[in-house]
Amino acid sequence: MSVKLNVSCIVASGLLFCSAALLHAEDALEKESAGEKKAEEETVKEFTAPAGWKKGLKKGWEKNTPPGWDKFDEKTKRGWEKELRYQKKQIRNRAERNDWNAKDCDAVVDAYEFAVRSGVTASHARLIMDGCIVHGIKGDSITGVGYALADGVGKEDNYKTLATDIVAKLNQDYAGEKLINEIYFLIDARQKERGKAPPAGRPVELKEKDVKEAESTGEKAKKLTTEKKEEKKPKKSKKK
């Protein structure tokens, strides 16, 4: 009788323990999900363009999110933010493995995030940034690459093949202004092939002294995308 009672008590205790453990696990899972969702919301809310970009938000954007964000369901939004965080971490890890310093690591991550939040496909922007890291494209150059990719949103409709084209240029030792300008030209050329006229103007080739004299990353990026102004015609002298 005593043995049966003890067994019953042990079983009951075990069930209570399991029930408590299950409730604890469910509670922890809910807190984790809530925390993850809050982190994602804060990521969207707190994100600002890297210092020097001076690009501002595009018309129609919801905060700092890609075009069409307001049409995404909550699951898609969470998945997008999760993918962005994962890819940023992978890019930083690759840069660190290539012995990049903290400043250069931050620059490539910022350039990547800016491009993706502009509307560039996360996975394809990652391929481009990985190629840039392997070929040592850093600092102002990587900032210019991110800006050029972001500027292509709305003109480019296949970032997979664009990424392939850009990596091919990297393998041909394109770097600095030459690489940045080539990205603009690639996007324009591909757009023209699809029957859409490219926008007027082209990025200006910078001279070495211009780069040295630029006071900030924003000014350098701005110069890289400045349209070439028409030469002013000499004024005709008035006849006496």
Q: Identify the pLDDT of residue 30.
A: 58
Name every residue whose Cβ is closer than 8 Å to that of residue 219 and which is 6 or more positions away in sequence: 52
Q: Identify the pLDDT of residue 6.
A: 52
Residue 81 has pLDDT above 80, yes or no: yes
Residue 233 within a domain: no
Residue 50 within a domain: no
Mean pLDDT value across the chain: 70
Residue 40 has pLDDT above 50, yes or no: no
Residue 232 within a domain: no
Question: In terms of residue numbers, what domain contains 130?
Answer: 72-224
Compute the C-alpha angle 126/161/106, nearest 5°.
20
Read off the pLDDT of residues 174-217 as tens digits, 9 standing for 90 and up. 999 999 999 999 988 888 887 755 444 444 333 344 334 433 43
Residue 109 has pLDDT above 90, yes or no: yes
More confident residue, 162 or 27: 162
Amino acid at 231: E
Q: How many domains does the chain have?
A: 1
Compute the average pLDDT of residues 157-175.
90
Read off the pLDDT of residues 134-163 as tens digits, 9 standing for 90 and up. 999 999 999 999 989 988 887 876 888 899
Residue 28 within a domain: no
Residue 5 within a domain: no
Residue 17 within a domain: no
Lowest mean pLDDT among 83-92, 153-162, 231-240: 231-240
Long-range contacts of 222-230 (CB under 8 A, 24+ apart): 222/54, 224/144, 224/147, 224/148, 224/177, 224/180, 224/181, 225/147, 225/148, 225/151, 225/184, 227/200, 227/201, 227/202, 227/203, 228/201, 228/202, 228/204
Residue 151 within a domain: yes
Residue 143 within a domain: yes
Residue 83 · residue 116 · CB < 8 Å: no
Compute the average pLDDT of residues 211-224.
41
